[in-house]
Structure 1
Amino acid sequence: PTPEEKASCYVGSLTCWTFGIYISYSILLFGAIVYFHRFYNSQKFDREGFERVALTDDDEDTLLDPERSSRRYALNALLQDYFYQQGYICAKYPWQTIGVAALIVSFATLGCSKFEVETDPVRLWVAPNSDSAIQKEFFDQNFGPFYRTQQIFISSKNTSQSVVNYNNLKSLFIIEREIREIKSPHTLQDLCFHPNGDACIVQSVTGYWQSDLDNFSEETWRDEFISCTSAPTFCLPDFQQPLKPDMILGGFENDEYTNAKAFVLTYVLNNSLNKSETYASQEWEKSLREYLNKLIHNENSKVNTSQLDISFSTESSLEIELNKSTNTDIYTIALSYLVMFVYASFALGSFTSLPRIFIDSKFLLGISGIIIVLASVSTSVGIFSILGIKVTLIIAEVIPFLVLAVGVDNIFILNHEFERLTLKSFGEESVEERIAKTLGRMGPSILLSALSETIAFGLGGIVTMPAVRNFALYAALAVWVDFSLQVTVFVAFLSLDAKRQEENRIDCFPCVNIRAPGRIDKEGLLQKWMRKYYAPFILNKKVRIAVIVFFISAFMFALGLVPQIELGLDQRIALPSDSYLIDYFNDLDKYFRIGPPVYFVAKDLNVTTKEGQQTLCGRFST
């Protein structure tokens, strides 16, 4: 940040904002503790002489049973009635429900035929209607896009030593010669920017000797180097542009160029808005990357790079490396879905006896839950692909995990409530009735949860940054479709699975019927632990106060650190941890002293007239 943006008010090492937040919260917390302590003591005095009456087991069950709630709200009652009817219909006609949903999902998924991934960093992070994007578009249309830049940093592995010596400079000459000879089938000479004759713009320290090893002498190189870095205009390269030391050397101090820690090589290629015209440049850049990777691993017989560190970036490197990250994450996504499927299959089942393991397991139900999650993602992708909203790397990597987490939660909620009702009814109610009651009780909370998540993501759709906006839209639709399928299709699968269990049919082979003892419906260990131990503990008065204080304290602590949040997007964060570009960006920050160019473009101005020249140049134009 600029000096004007830095906080000027400090109390010790803390900013005034952080100090004020912490002091204010400490005072409020101390006051609250004193108040509640006095209030509790007064209440304790008022209760003296009264004896607590222990609840019977029946009373305890009544308090824990959601059916015996003493209050009933109009909205909740309306939603319960609606979901009761929906659950009954889906359970009574399961195959019809699954068939209709499959047709809708299949039709929406057809939109994936227009699936496109946006990988251009500019189009991802810059709003198309922002001033920067509009001005860049105008510049590109009138002057052409900025040149394709290839940059290489060469430094010594011993960071305390200067890279400027005879052997390293000689190796640099050889490296540049081999780069000029790269064919893809095009050469550097075919693709480079050469404004002055046929000489390519190559910004390198070898330009002081016109990039010709014959001009480089072991006896005189040091004096020539010192002379050229002091007066670059007397040592012009082939393309006749003075080479400032700041552009070709890095890691030096106080103009002591002989102590530089890095050579900086910059190749400038022509660029075009026509993608077909840039294909040749991309092919040459691919060959350049292959050559440089061999140098990094010291696999070049003509140059010994064992004592050199080399980092580089081509114009197409960033986009390629980001795509590489997405391709490797596919295996992670697949593995996470597999693990969640196995976990859900075991956790959804209730194994009451050894002979009923193959009946009470719920692998098919777990598969159906995972398929629903995948269907919601594919539906969202298909619909937005039809609308022309491209997928971004964030969408491909995050949304599958996001929808999986949300979807699996609701699956467990519905299954647990159904098991609870089955345990309570002792087989007196039909499967359809139990399914209807399950959805009637859990449906309103699942609806409100999904609605709040959808609205939260949907609000992100008003953000102008394309990467954030597209992610928010895809996530909002995927979450809502996931909810819709859970309260219809999963309910239908739950009904089919319950009927299969009652008829003693094997889980993964539902057509096979086996003899097995009757099911022993009893409360699971986890449910019993939650009811007898965790719930009483977390609802204890002192524990509740401690939990509230802890989370409020954590929030206030984080709020106090808000001024330390740094704005911006470091490109290294989005790259794979093993990407060669990370070394390049590290060297760029460490060694390169030149920032990006700035252009001032004047619209609707005729510079061939005196008035236009005076408008542009002010008093310097006569």
Structure 2
Amino acid sequence: MCSEKDCLHFLRSRTQEKLELCFYRYGILVANYPWTFIILSFALTSVCSLGLLNFHQEKNPMNLWVPPNSDFKRDTDWFMKNIRLGYRIQTVMVTAPDVLEPWVLQQLLEIRNQVVESTLQNVTWEDVCFRVPVVLLNTRRKRSSNNELFERDGDEEADADKFNILYDFEPSVVLPSAIFCSIVSSFSTGCYEHSILEFWNYDEQDIQRLSKEDIIFALNHTTISPVLGLSMQYTQLLGGVVRNESGVIVAASSLLSQWMVHVNFSAVDMDLVGNDGGTADWATGQGLIWEQSFLDTMGNITSSLDHSNTTDVLYEASRSFGDISSSAMFQDILKIACGVFLTFIFVLLVLSKFSCLEIRIIPAGAGLACVGLAFVSACGFCSALGIFYGPVHTSLPFLLMGIGVDDMFVIMACRNNLNESQKKKSLAEQMGLALRHAGVSITVTSFTDIVASTIGGTTILPALESFCLYAAAGVFFTFIYQATFFVAFLVLDEQRIAKQKNPFLLCVTHGKPAPSYKSVAPCSKPIINFIYSKIILTNPFKILVVVATFCFTGFCVVGLTKLRQQFDPKWFLPPDSHLVKFLDARDRWYSDSGQEAHVLLGRLNYSAELPHIHNLVKELRAQRDIVKDVNTWYDGFRRYLNFYFFRAIPHEELSEDDFSLYLGKYLHSPSGGKYQKNFRFAGKLECGEKTPPVTISTLDFKFRKFTGPEEAVPAMNRIRQLIQDSNITSGDGFKTVWSKAFATWTTDEVIQHELYRNLALSVICVMATTTVLIVNFSVCFWIFVCVLLTLTDICGMMYYWGLTVDIVSCIALVLGVGLCIDYAAHVGQTFLHAQGCLLHRALYTVNTIGAAVLNGGLSTLLAMSMLSLSSAYVFQSFFKIFFLVVTIGLFHGVVFLPVVLSEIGPSAPSPVVLPDTEHAPPNENAHPADECEMECLQAPNVSDKVDIVPIGTSSMNINHDR
């Protein structure tokens, strides 16, 4: 019986023999029928393009960035289906040394008037505003002292009390229902604005006559909107507040004015209102039109400001983030085009020899065209399977370009490395011999890339899942087109050279062969041979390479331990945009005000659940380290019943009829009218009647400002657990907490785990695939070490370069796995099939495949280089990570791995003789293994003993990798 080693060698040899024979015959076939394969390539693209009839570009952020089985996705679907109505906030911020000066309010009034009078496409503010009930009743005075009203933010419950004021005259209680409701029905609904200009009913003459004392008095004594008649919290509009010793506000540095635009969630169609970046918010058509009018108006106002003035006007529309972030992602198309052009020039330089005949413009153009064909085919194929196209898919051509150009260089390297006897054979046989080596190489690396991308497609993040599946399809089609379309055009170009035709004007024929000059490619064989034989593969430098590799990895491990998982949506915005300026000012003046959130309650038995709701609100207020403002309908309703009806809830139980009766009165009162928006009923809410059964109610609060996901995610989970522990179980028992910020926080919660999971699975599966294809555990182990070191170094350097773990870096890293495996796999596979001593085999490997690998890496860097000039966060992150992938991956694959294999690599296998080479003449440069080892031991200088061995000899059958 044969030994395990012999069995593995036999398996590897037979696999190698069959694959090489298949590609040899395939190369002859393509060379004999190039136009047929070109037509077949276009036919395949056309067939795949039919899938574009099912093309769907996903624009809904919920379907892109949020795990489909997450609590937030479930709660949002419920929210959209049941809440139905809501509003989007448009905000203007005025900053000044003291915004409570009369001239500041006069300027703010001018801005307000221009905003509400703005129109676009005949859509006015009145058409889109969110309407609330107007309750303009004469309530003589509030039962609240100034000391209570103006105390500092120390007691959250006291803060809630002072904004749910009780009055000596409460018309909903004192007046008979018929009279009260007749008064209420005489009022129309009003557009919901929030501004201290309401104090003077937006009256220009009154505001022109104001003194600062008038402003301070009104601010400190007004809690009911003179416009809407509803209780309001005006102090929240101020930032940089200054109080006197009595706690009275006397100055402020910033002032907000807000306009609420109506949105019907049930009518939202993200395919219509979404953007290509997948960053749009829920909106309806007319609302978006008026928001654009708001932006145009504010743009004109800010551009005409006197910038020498100390006043600044900043603004934000609800559509601002979606518009700006989306345009930033796609504003650098020209830079991308320049990167493609530079890559084409580089490919032309590498492939060509500078003579009138051997400028390879045809195969260079065909090779890059393969990338376009592969991208279209992948989009069509994936669309036919129902896989959506997302915003990050725009970067896919860069990945395919790196892989495709790499394949081109490998094929051309194998074509150029044919020895003189092989070059005398027919063109068809030459292409068969070239593809015999190159075909196996690009098959191995393409297959590993497909496996890595497919594994990435198992993630729970929809955008990453879709992108990885598109990438796997794109790599597959790139492999197909490089092996057909590119090879066919290469054959045609060889025929052109044989016929002495000019590469630019095919109708021009040169009478005699023009002088040929070597390529000026930066990574050529003579340069590589000199560097490796004289420097890198000498003993002192080997020690230096190994020591430097592990020292650098140690340095990167330190960075890896400090790498944070963090994402700030502001990174998607250009730093000079109006929104960034607004957000920076908001962070400065409202630093403790975080994200709004809502406790959602379903079809409960509310009369029975009031004690539990009371405890829930109390527990929310107790979370002082994460919760800032708790302003709920329950607080006002409890005091309303306690004060006017002497019902001691939550200690006294209410019947369902009493609850419905009192709730109806409260929601039509001046203090409770603003909470109508917090309820949904099974029927219409009518004044003077019991409320229909409550289907939904919400309790509003705000989180404090968090510095990052390490604070935000635990806060979100703590509130969720608090809700689940609230013992609210009646009715449908539905209870949850919801905030738009949870979309980001939910992704933050899983992204780091998903990154490490995908990287680990990709590396394990790719290494398993490589082991099956290479069938040598020693080489596969060192390839694994190179990939592991590369990924460790990349993640560590991310910290030093200011990157964090987020969805963008996660996508880039998953893609980078395939590239860094390619570099090491090329070298390992070529070394494995070389003959001679370890040192000769290492030098032969880098001389044979090193130039193709290095040029492939340089072409990827060149394609990505223009992205370094982009201001878009996505492109900046992709450039940084791919720069690290290429540079560190090349170092480990082309420097570290040859050094290691030259000392502790596996022994040389017995030569494998294929049918097409069995009669080849012996190679006089090949050394028997034992003699080679003796020469290596005696050689004082590597370059004195190592020759570049030609390809395709009987004594050294070498498979050439990329």
| Interval of TM-score (by shorter of Structure 1 and Structure 2) | 0.7 to 0.9
- Check if 1:245 corresponds to 2:235: yes
Look up the SS of the partner of 1:600 in the other structure: strand
Contact in 2 for aligned 1:455/1:476 (Cα 8 Å) = yes
Aligned residue type for 1:284:
W
CA 1:231–1:459: 2 relative to 1, 3 Å:
farther
The more displaced of 93-102 and 509-518 is 509-518
Look up the SS of the partner of 1:605 in the other structure: coil
Deviation at 1:257, TM superposition (A): 5.0
**Matched residues in 1 for 2:311 and 2:553: separation?**
48
Aligned to 2:340: 337
**Matched residues in 2 for 1:549 and 1:259: separation?**
63
**Matched residues in 2 for 1:236 and 1:561: separation?**
58
The more displaced of 451-460 and 542-551 is 542-551
Contact in 2 for aligned 1:90/1:491 (Cα 8 Å) = yes
**Matched residues in 1 for 2:552 and 2:63: separation?**
37
Aligned to 2:408: 411
Deviation at 1:557, TM superposition (A): 2.8
5 Å matches for 1:55-66? none
Aligned to 1:598: 597
Deviation at 1:258, TM superposition (A): 4.5
Look up the SS of the partner of 2:304 in the other structure: coil
Aligned to 1:165: 101
Look up the SS of the partner of 1:100 in the other structure: helix
Aligned residue type for 1:251:
G
**Matched residues in 2 for 1:225 and 1:271: separation?**
34
Look up the SS of the partner of 2:571 in the other structure: helix
Contact in 2 for aligned 1:296/1:305 (Cα 8 Å) = no
What CA deviation, in whole Å up to 9, does each residue of 1:359-380 have, x standing for no partner? 1101111110111011111111
- Check if 1:85 corresponds to 2:25: yes
Aligned residue type for 1:602:
L
- Check if 1:226 corresponds to 2:216: yes
5 Å matches for 1:438-587? 438-517=434-513, 526-534=524-532, 536-587=534-585
Aligned to 2:193: 202
2:285 pairs with one of 273, 279, 291: 279
| Superposition TM-score, scaled by structure 2 size | 0.52
2:124 pairs with one of 187, 196, 214: 187
What CA deviation, in whole Å up to 9, does each residue of 1:7-27 have, x standing for no partner? xxxxxxxxxxxxxxxxxxxxx
CA 1:621–1:349: 2 relative to 1, 3 Å:
farther
The more displaced of 502-511 and 471-480 is 502-511
Aligned residue type for 1:295:
I
Contact in 1 for aligned 2:240/2:253 (Cα 8 Å) = yes
The more displaced of 471-480 and 329-338 is 329-338
**Matched residues in 2 for 1:256 and 1:614: separation?**
35
Aligned to 2:91: 151
Look up the SS of the partner of 2:363 in the other structure: helix
**Matched residues in 2 for 1:82 and 1:225: separation?**
88
- Aligned Cα RMSD in Å? 3.0
Look up the SS of the partner of 1:271 in the other structure: strand
Contact in 1 for aligned 2:407/2:482 (Cα 8 Å) = yes
CA 1:85–1:590: 2 relative to 1, 3 Å:
farther
1:267 pairs with one of 259, 269, 279: 259
Aligned to 2:295: 289
CA 1:154–1:387: 2 relative to 1, 3 Å:
farther
CA 1:275–1:166: 2 relative to 1, 3 Å:
same
Contact in 2 for aligned 1:249/1:257 (Cα 8 Å) = no
Contact in 2 for aligned 1:298/1:306 (Cα 8 Å) = no
**Matched residues in 2 for 1:391 and 1:446: separation?**
27
Identity %: 23
Aligned to 1:430: 426
**Matched residues in 1 for 2:85 and 2:70: separation?**
18
Look up the SS of the partner of 1:350 in the other structure: coil
What CA deviation, in whole Å up to 9, does each residue of 1:307-334 have, x standing for no partner? 4333322222222223322442322222
Look up the SS of the partner of 2:321 in the other structure: helix
Contact in 2 for aligned 1:346/1:363 (Cα 8 Å) = no
**Matched residues in 2 for 1:80 and 1:426: separation?**
16
Contact in 1 for aligned 2:382/2:473 (Cα 8 Å) = no
Deviation at 1:484, TM superposition (A): 1.8
Contact in 2 for aligned 1:192/1:201 (Cα 8 Å) = yes
5 Å matches for 1:35-184? 73-144=13-84, 146-156=86-96, 161-184=97-120
- Check if 1:212 corresponds to 2:218: no
What CA deviation, in whole Å up to 9, does each residue of 1:182-207 have, x standing for no partner? 12212212211121233222222323
Aligned residue type for 2:413:
H
**Matched residues in 1 for 2:290 and 2:309: separation?**
26
Aligned residue type for 2:405:
V
**Matched residues in 1 for 2:435 and 2:322: separation?**
47
Contact in 1 for aligned 2:93/2:315 (Cα 8 Å) = yes
Deviation at 1:483, TM superposition (A): 1.5
What CA deviation, in whole Å up to 9, does each residue of 1:198-222 have, x standing for no partner? 32222223233333333325553x2
**Matched residues in 1 for 2:26 and 2:104: separation?**
77
Q: Tell me the matched-pair count.
A: 536
Contact in 2 for aligned 1:460/1:472 (Cα 8 Å) = yes
User: Gaps spanning 5+ residues in structure 1: where?
Assistant: 1-68, 352-356
**Matched residues in 2 for 1:282 and 1:162: separation?**
33
